[in-house]
Structure 1
Amino acid sequence: MTNNNTSILITGGAGFIGSNLCDYFLAKAYKVTCLDNFATGHRHNIEAFFSNPNFTLLEGDIRDPQTCAKAVKNIDYVLHQAALGSVPRSIQDPFTTNEVNITGFMNMLIASRDAGVKRFIYAASSSTYGDSENLPKVEDIIGKPLSPYAITKYVNELYAEIFSKTYGMETIGLRYFNVFGRRQDPNGAYAAVIPKFVMQLMQHESPVINGDGNYSRDFTYIDNVIQMNELAMISDNPAAVNTVYNTAFGDRTTLNEMVSYLKTYLSEFDSEIAEIPVIHGPNRAGDIPHSLASIEKAKKLLNYNPKFPFQDGLKEAVKWYWENLK
């Protein structure tokens, strides 16, 4: 089935998740507009799409309302991925995190409302669970946020709900749990743990785990996240909209286990990696100890069926990094 008449705006489309979404929907013959200011996204993530007549790049910033209004013109669905991620970055610079993640989000909501966009799907975050100790995490039980970043992502959910109730907009929030996979940036001060450790191990450097390594995460492979975005977009179940969903695999892995798997998979390419020691440093401010999602709501209302358990996804990711970054 072709979708030539359906147009999607992917904000942050040159980033890790955004570029994977661009790739996927272009392959399905959707018209895709990518809005990015390249603050954290990369041109090399989307260069392959430039020759595709269904792809449009709009260089701009969601903090500018006029840019947002221009971006949503003739758009059916918005997949809003643009944000300043990273808990440590938000602790370092709460102002910019707030400006991008709250003011920018509001600009996109208003522009989408005014343009009559059919549905606004946005990247929410597992950080919203804050200090809640409940495991697994279920959507309607959250705690107090533990970082400026977490506050901004929770505010997104509150605004989306108000826009649904007040203006009749269809919104769906996807609470991402530690997404990883191809194109995730291994460089920079705020690099995510998996690509960062992969690069260090490939360079025969010891990765540093914050704390004793027994903190656990529901690491979620990118293809599961793509599936959730598509289901959120195409669902015709009235009960499935105007709510939020955990976007995860529904399993947890400790940081120690994760590094052990990484060493195993990488040592298939370079046997010396198996012997690299791991260093333990202090715990990091704002980190939640354990993260595990219940995905029952997404299974029930969206027919979500994640295909990639952590180890399968990690093997794919390691192979991609070895082939593209070595």
Structure 2
Amino acid sequence: MRIAITGGAGFIGGNLAHALASRSEISHIRVVDDLSTGSRANLEGAAVEFFEGSVLDPGLLDRVFRGVDSVVHLAALPSVPRSVRDPLASHHANATGTLQVLEAARRAGGPQVIAASSSSVYGLNPHLPKHEELRAAPRSPYAVGKLASEAYLTAYHHCYGLPVLPFRFFNVYGPRQPAGHAYAAVVPTWIGALLTGQPLVVHGDGNQSRDFTYVETVCQVLGAAAVGRVVHPDPVNLAFGTRTSLRALIAELESATGLRAEVRYTAARVGDVRNSQADNTRLRALFPDVAPVPLPEGLRLTVDWFRSAPDAVRAGVGRVDGSPDQVIPSPVSRMRRKPDTGHR
């Protein structure tokens, strides 16, 4: 079996490449990434064929997708705050990038396309836990672009028979997640702050909640979806129904690091969602054998990785302003000015 990963040199993409490389069913892995925020270091030790470039390049995608059985589309421009600052860049990377991937898959003869969407599409809808049939109420350009991506996947399934599987990622965390940039997610940012004696900045009162999912669990699901050729044209939540407040997350991080946190509270940010928790009924029906890594264990493993990678900790110095919004897989284009160019 041959698999292509877009955004494969980023956080989730790098972890997925390593996970897939260990599976006997998979004979070849191709990775495409423009390295605007991803890193070749995330692929060290993984047997992959690497292509540097953007998912907005149709010719490159044609080369990468030729002969593959499955495409895992993770490339995106992440972060709600980033999209508020530059909505056009967010749209081009996330919506247009997904459309280019779907067109390339169609030209390649119709490999399965597994794609990363986001829980941010639920937006202002207050219902908890959030199930896939809820009305979407996106409140940021990032969320709008992800919702458009989902709709394109569904449309390509019904119009062209393309086998698709859109996942709504919630808050993914774990090793290889970058801390040292302005749009870093909350877990790596706060771990970096704790390990370097900096304060943890909380936007709002800290009672906002998220459904955190360890990256190894996400990779288990993505691997099972690819190897099992699982197809579902409608979105599937990829989270396990947990709900952790930011205050509780701080307590868990203190336990995982053995360190006491200094916490500073500031105003809530435009575009942030108050609470998030997944209904995982659909996920469990499709992947009944996946066992999620509990949050305390996942945080301990993540802290251990940061302690073993001092460069990752140093990269986070001065970047203590963590966002609870997830960072999904990797960079897509150098068409935009830095630092607003990519992800994963």
Encode CA deviations 1:268-312: one digit per residue, 9 max, x unaligned.
Answer: xxxxx32x3211111011111000001111111332533312122
- Deviation of 1:142 after TM superposition, in Å, equals 2.8
Equivalent of 1:248, from 219, 239, 251? Answer: 239
Alignment of 1:95-114 (within 5 A): 95-114=88-107
Equivalent of 1:301, from 286, 305, 314? Answer: 286
Equivalent of 2:255, from 251, 261, 264? Answer: 264
* Aligned equivalents of 1:80, 1:95: Cα separation in 2: 20
Alignment of 1:38-53 (within 5 A): 38-49=35-46, 52=47
Encode CA deviations 1:159-181: one digit per residue, 9 max, x unaligned.
Answer: 00110000000100110010000
1:167 is the counterpart of 2:164: no
Aligned partner letter, 1:180: Y
1:119 is the counterpart of 2:116: no
Counterpart for residue 169 of structure 2: 176
Q: 1:236 to 1:111 in 2, by over 3 A?
A: closer
Equivalent of 1:222, from 215, 218, 225? Answer: 215
The answer for unaligned runs of 5 or more in structure 2 is 314-344
**Maintained 8 Å contact 1:227/1:304:** no
* Aligned equivalents of 1:89, 1:192: Cα separation in 2: 12
* Aligned equivalents of 1:105, 1:72: Cα separation in 2: 14
Please identify, of 112-121 and 144-153, the stretch whose mean Cα deviation from structure 2 is larger: 112-121
* Aligned equivalents of 1:116, 1:130: Cα separation in 2: 35
Q: 1:323 to 1:133 in 2, by over 3 A?
A: same
Q: CA RMSD in A?
A: 1.3
* Aligned equivalents of 1:88, 1:58: Cα separation in 2: 29
Counterpart for residue 317 of structure 1: 302
Counterpart for residue 32 of structure 1: 29
**Maintained 8 Å contact 1:77/1:119:** yes
- Deviation of 1:232 after TM superposition, in Å, equals 2.0
Equivalent of 1:11, from 6, 13, 17? Answer: 6
* Aligned equivalents of 2:8, 2:232: Cα separation in 1: 23
3-state secondary structure, aligned to 2:206: coil
**Maintained 8 Å contact 2:15/2:219:** yes
Encode CA deviations 1:209-261: one digit per residue, 9 max, x unaligned.
Answer: 11110000001100111122123223366xx5222210012111000010111
- Deviation of 1:128 after TM superposition, in Å, equals 0.8
TM-score, normalised to structure 2, is 0.87
- Deviation of 1:98 after TM superposition, in Å, equals 0.8
- Deviation of 1:71 after TM superposition, in Å, equals 1.3
Counterpart for residue 3 of structure 1: none
Q: 1:132 to 1:304 in 2, by over 3 A?
A: farther
Counterpart for residue 280 of structure 1: 265
**Maintained 8 Å contact 2:214/2:292:** no
Equivalent of 2:277, from 292, 298, 323? Answer: 292
3-state secondary structure, aligned to 1:48: coil
1:196 is the counterpart of 2:189: yes
Please identify, of 8-17 and 227-236, the stretch whose mean Cα deviation from structure 2 is larger: 227-236
* Aligned equivalents of 1:140, 1:294: Cα separation in 2: 10
**Maintained 8 Å contact 2:122/2:135:** yes
**Maintained 8 Å contact 1:217/1:253:** yes
TM-score, normalised to structure 1, is 0.92
**Maintained 8 Å contact 1:249/1:306:** no
Aligned partner letter, 1:28: R
1:93 is the counterpart of 2:86: yes
**Maintained 8 Å contact 1:246/1:294:** yes
**Maintained 8 Å contact 1:298/1:304:** no
* Aligned equivalents of 2:289, 2:136: Cα separation in 1: 25
Aligned partner letter, 2:304: K
Q: 1:120 to 1:236 in 2, by over 3 A?
A: closer
Q: 1:130 to 1:310 in 2, by over 3 A?
A: same
Matched residues, percent identical?
36
**Maintained 8 Å contact 2:112/2:229:** no
Encode CA deviations 1:129-150: one digit per residue, 9 max, x unaligned.
Answer: 1111110000111332110000
Counterpart for residue 153 of structure 1: 146
- Deviation of 1:94 after TM superposition, in Å, equals 0.8
Counterpart for residue 270 of structure 1: none
- Deviation of 1:118 after TM superposition, in Å, equals 2.9
* Aligned equivalents of 2:197, 2:167: Cα separation in 1: 36
* Aligned equivalents of 1:42, 1:61: Cα separation in 2: 14
